Structures are given as C-alpha cells and as structure tokens.
C-alpha cells in the first residue's frame, strides 16, 4: 500500500509521541531533550517544530488545533436546510466529529497506556491536558454556535458540547478497557441512545 | 446562634482542610505533617483520624463517602409510586442530591482557589481527585439503579450519572467564576433546561 504524505506525517507524529512518552515514563520530562526526539525520528530540530510546538506537546500528542478540517467542514454542512431551532441530529453530528478526531490521532489502548505511564511520572501533564480540553471546548462551542445560528457562548451551544464531551469521555474509557469489543462510533451511539431514553422520560409527551 | 455538634464538626473539618491547602501550596505535601495540622486545630492525632484518613485527604477535603445520608434517603424515596420506566424527575433529583452535597462540603470560590493553589504545587492531587470521582460515579450509578429498579451497571443508570456529572462539573465552574451571581441550584436548572431543549429537538414528536 502506498502511503500518502499526510499518512506518513501522522505516522511520524505518532512515533515521536510514543518515544517521548516512553522517555517521560522512565526519566521524566527533564530527562530528555527535543534533540533526543529528533535523533530517534531522524529529523532536524526545524522539522520537529513543524510537528509539535515543544517537548510536552509531543508527550501529550497534541498538534495544530487537533481537529481534522474535512470533518469540521462536514459538521458545519450537516444542518439540514429549512430546519427551525436546534438540529435534530446535532449530538449525532458532534459525536461523528469526535470519532473522526480519534481516528486521526489514532487512539489505541497501547497509546493511551503509554500516555498514562508518562502522566504518572509527570502529573502536571494531566493538568495540561485538562487545560487543552477547555480550549477545545470553547472552539467546539463556537463551531456549534456557527452551525446552529446561535449567538456566541449560547447556553444551548455550550450544553451540546458539554453533553457530547460527557458521552465521549465515558465512551473512550469503555473503548480503552481491556474487555472492549466495540468500535468508538458504536459505543457513542449506545450512550446517546441511553441519554435519549432518560430525556424521553423527562420531557412532556 | 448555637452550633450543633455536626456544624462544629463541619467547621473544624473545613478549617483543617484550609490550613492543609495553605501548607501544601507553600511547602508541598512533604513540607508538613499530620502533627502540624493537629497542633493548628488543637486536636489529638486520634481525633484527626476521625476526620480524615490521612494528610492528602485533608488537602482534598474528602471524608467518609462524601455524601449526606439524609439527601441520599430523599433521593432514594424520590421516585413516584406507579411510575413505569425511568422517573421523569431522575436528573432533577440527581442534581438536587449534588447541590446538597456541595452545601455540606461548603464549596466557595475561596475554598476552590485554595485547592487549586495546592494542586498547582502538587499536581498528583488532581489525579487523586479524579480517581475519587470515579469511585463516586460507581456509588451514584448503584444508587440510581437501586431507585429505578435497574440491574447493576445498567447503561441508563450509568448515563444518568454521566449526564448529571457533566452538568455539575460545568455548573460548578460557572459558580466559581468571579462574575457569577447565581446559586448552584439555579445554575444546574438552567443547564438542565438547555439539555432538555437539545433532546426535545432530537427526539421524534
């Protein structure tokens, strides 16, 4: 199979992150340099900074704004014409966007385990990941507002992202558990269906 | 005003936690002992361990299972007789229980700020708080299952707690923001209403 340039980029990015996590778990963040990562990957310092803004971001595995542009476009185009009020498929589409994101960054139990091993040695990585999550939340709220025609920071846009995040986070935990046999989209759908049951009972008929 | 024994206990507990957070922020967890906390509070080591299982728990402010027994009873009794399926007021009642919990532990911007200052110095406290959150999640899922007559670890019970947690966490963040003027129950209700709007659009009429 011939790899595309973006596949090769993604593979190298994951390779750098895997190595950075291994070094962090064994030696801590102070125990290695960007140069060590460059040498391992066979790239220059300059190329490294095309991949990650710094050493800690390489360990976390974050890059750019962490969202696939094509998936974002599909999300923004996903509101049917002529709809009044909130799109019926808003949460489905948010979960599809999240699943696309995880497909790009390549979320596997091995990769998650490597991150947790690094974070165990350097707990501040967890703090950083949470801050990163807040930025992502603002970005997503803005996307939902744009698509649904809501004023910025509208409570409904904020809540849609909050509900989606809750399903994603609990779903990812199930996905990464050793006995899981389902795909991430399947897991998200099961959870969304359970949420719909709860709200169906709560809403007046 | 005459303080009850349980008010006095709660006040002393909060005083110990405030001092433990101050010491952690300035000197780290290794920079003080349980004896330092006892001396400050004017209690014996033995009394201390009636309040907290250890130093780190004093900093986190966790005690017992962290839930008010009367509020738990009210939650368990809150399902109306003759209901089939999920209670319409399940999420409301879960949020009421959460609000009661925060009233007991006394969540204020000052107290939260002191915790974050301690956690900034000792990031592993965040990891511990998250683990504590997972235990609490299992306990709450069990409570929901018991009240709603669901088999243990039912997806709906799990999801109800996940949705409630999402509303609580984002609501607490708003509550602790400098410009907030609302009570915690008001904030929870506004968010639940927004969630209902989203699901009302998603559910078939």
- Identify which of A89, A127, A200 has the shortest CB distance to residue B123: A127
Share in percent of chain B as helix, strand, coil (round to 5): 75, 0, 25
pLDDT digits (tens, 9 = 90+) for A84-129: 899 999 999 999 999 988 877 767 888 888 988 999 899 888 878 8
Please say if the pLDDT value at position A74 is more than 90: yes
What integer is the mean pLDDT of B176-185? 92
- Return the CATH fold of B65-205: Tetracycline Repressor; domain 2 (1.10.357)
A88 and chain B in contact, CB less than 8 A? yes
- Under a CB-based contact definition with an 8 Å cutoff, are residues A36 and A20 in contact? no
**Tokens 């009873």 label which residue?**
B73
A91 and chain B in contact, CB less than 8 A? yes
At B65, is the pLDDT very low, low, confident or very high (cuts 50, 70, 90)?
Answer: low
pLDDT digits (tens, 9 = 90+) for B129-142: 878 888 888 999 99
Residue B27: closest CA among B55, B64, B66: B55
What pLDDT was estimated at residue A35? Answer: 96
Measuring CA to CA, how many Å separate A127 from each of A56, B43, B87? 12, 34, 37
B165 and chain A in contact, CB less than 8 A? yes
What pLDDT was estimated at residue A66? Answer: 61
Kindly determine whether residue A199 and residue B199, on different chains, have CB atoms separated by under 8 Å.
Answer: yes
Chain A residues in contact with B197 by the CB 8 A cut-off are 86, 156
Measuring CA to CA, how many Å separate A125 from each of A117, A118, A170, B26, B127? 11, 8, 20, 21, 10
pLDDT digits (tens, 9 = 90+) for A28-44: 999 999 999 999 999 99
- Under a CB-based contact definition with an 8 Å cutoff, are residues B72 and B139 in contact? no
Torsions phi, psi for B74 (to 5 deg): -60, -40
Cα–Cα distance measured from residue A64 to residue B149, given in angstroms and rounded to the nearest whole number: 47
What pLDDT was estimated at residue B29? Answer: 95
Q: What is the pTM of this model?
A: 0.81
Please say if the pLDDT value at position B64 is more than 70: no
Please say if the pLDDT value at position B185 is more than 70: yes
**Tokens 């709200």 label which residue?**
A199
At B81, is the pLDDT very low, low, confident or very high (cuts 50, 70, 90)?
Answer: confident
Chain B residues in contact with A149 by the CB 8 A cut-off are none
What integer is the mean pLDDT of B7-20? 88
Chain A residues in contact with B91 by the CB 8 A cut-off are 198, 202
What pLDDT was estimated at residue B21? Answer: 95
What is the dotted CATH code of the domain comprising A1-63?
A: 1.10.10.60
Pick A81 or B25 by higher pLDDT.
B25
B158 and chain A in contact, CB less than 8 A? yes
Task: State whether ipTM is beyond 0.95.
Answer: no
Q: Where are the domains of chain A?
A: 1-63, 65-205
Please say if the pLDDT value at position B66 is more than 80: no
At A63, is the pLDDT very low, low, confident or very high (cuts 50, 70, 90)?
Answer: low
Mean pLDDT of chain B: 89
Please say if the pLDDT value at position B75 is more than 70: yes
What pLDDT was estimated at residue B91? Answer: 97
- Identify which of B92, B119, B156 has the shortest CB distance to residue A194: B156
- Identify which of B119, B191, B201 has the shortest CB distance to residue A159: B191
Question: For residues A89, A90, A93 and A99, what is the CA-based torsion angle, rounded to 10 degrees?
Answer: -130
Pick A187 or A111 by higher pLDDT.
A187
- Identify which of B127, B159, B197 has the shortest CB distance to residue A195: B159
* Distant-in-sequence, close-in-space partners of B114: CB < 8 Å, separation ≥ 6: B18, B21, B22, B25
Q: Which of residues 118-157 of B touch A (CB under 8 A)?
A: 119-120, 123-124, 126-127, 130, 155-156
What pLDDT was estimated at residue B73? Answer: 93
Kindly determine whether residue B124 and residue A127, on different chains, have CB atoms separated by under 8 Å.
Answer: no
pLDDT digits (tens, 9 = 90+) for A121-166: 998 888 788 788 888 889 999 999 999 999 877 899 999 999 999 9
Kindly determine whether residue A87 and residue B201, on different chains, have CB atoms separated by under 8 Å.
Answer: yes
What pLDDT was estimated at residue B7? Answer: 75
**Å between B135 CA and nearest CA of chain A:** 14
Q: What is the 3-state secondary structure (H, E, C) of A102-149?
A: HHHHCCCHHHHHHHHHHHHHCCHHHHHHHHHHHHHHHHHHHHHHHHHC
pLDDT digits (tens, 9 = 90+) for A43-57: 999 999 988 888 998
At A65, is the pLDDT very low, low, confident or very high (cuts 50, 70, 90)?
Answer: low
Share in percent of chain A as helix, strand, coil (round to 5): 75, 0, 25
**Å between B180 CA and nearest CA of chain A:** 15
Pick B126 or A113 by higher pLDDT.
A113
- Identify which of B92, B130, B199 has the shortest CB distance to residue A203: B199
What integer is the mean pLDDT of B22-50? 95
Of A69-78, A99-108, B113-122, the poorest mean pLDDT is in A99-108
Kindly determine whether residue B201 and residue A159, on different chains, have CB atoms separated by under 8 Å.
Answer: no
């Amino acid at each position: 199979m011939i790899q595309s340039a973006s596949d090769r980029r993604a593979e190298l990015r994951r390779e750098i992150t895997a190595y950075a996590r291994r070094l962090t778990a064994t030696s801590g963040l102070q125990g290695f340099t960007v140069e060590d990562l460059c040498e391992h990957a066979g790239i220059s310092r300059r190329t490294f900074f095309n991949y990650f803004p710094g050493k800690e971001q390489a360990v976390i595995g974050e890059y750019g704004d962490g969202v696939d542009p094509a998936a974002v476009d599909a999300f923004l185009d996903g509101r049917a014409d002529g709809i009044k009020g909130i799109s019926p498929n808003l949460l489905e589409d948010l979960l599809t966007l999240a699943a696309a994101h995880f497909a790009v960054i390549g979320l596997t139990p091995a990769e998650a385990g490597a991150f947790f091993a690094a974070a165990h040695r350097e707990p501040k990585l967890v703090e950083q990941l949470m801050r990163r999550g807040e930025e992502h939340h603002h970005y997503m709220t803005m996307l939902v507002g744009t698509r649904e025609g809501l004023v910025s920071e509208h409570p409904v846009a904020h809540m849609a992202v909050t509900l989606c995040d809750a399903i994603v986070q609990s779903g990812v935990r199930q996905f990464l558990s050793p006995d899981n046999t389902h795909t991430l989209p399947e897991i998200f759908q099961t959870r969304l269906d359970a949420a719909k049951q709860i709200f169906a009972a709560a809403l007046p008929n």
